[in-house]
Amino acid sequence: MYGVESCVHPDYRSKGVGSKLMDARFNVLRRLNLRGLIAGAMPMDYHLSAHEVSIEQYVQEVVEGKRYDTNLTKQLHKGFKVHNLIPDYIHDPRTHDWAVAIIWHNPDYVLGKPAEAPVFEVRRVHVAKPMPRIAAAFAGGIGD
């Protein structure tokens, strides 16, 4: 499975939301008996050290636990391993446009085992308070 970057609204960060989203991905991988997940992780704090270390050294130090990166460190703690660097991944001054390809191997994967049938739930979600920043971004409609 390929996972695209996901993020949590700033008002809800540090409340376990991102961790629950990642755990949900892992559960899908297990149920579908997929070998693993590859994703692009943005090294969000690289801009703080880019003047003193290369991206290669920065990522190595994050992997070794010598540096903390608010995005990559959390993904490594979830069991991801660094595979390679990706230049020009996204225009973002915090990452100097770099990303890190990360891989999570499903420990429950069994070669030849059929996947469980997907289970779909329909849920109605009520948003008690609109989020003005997000609402304003879509005020003009798609394509405007």
pLDDT at 120: 61
pLDDT at 64: 97
pLDDT at 102: 95
pLDDT at 100: 95
pLDDT along the chain (144 residues), means of 10: 77 84 90 92 95 97 96 94 94 94 94 74 60 47 42
Strand ranges, E, within 62-121 = 81-86, 99-105
DSSP per-residue string spanning 8-41? --GGGTTTTHHHHHHHHHHHHHHHTT--EEEEEE
pLDDT at 131: 52
pLDDT at 127: 56
- The answer to whether 33 touches 114, Cβ cutoff 8 Å, is yes
Instruction: Give the whole-angstrom CA distance, residue 22 versus residue 27.
Output: 9
**Domain range 2-110, CATH architecture:** 3-Layer(aba) Sandwich (3.40)
Query: Can you give the residue ranges of every domain in the chain?
Result: 2-110
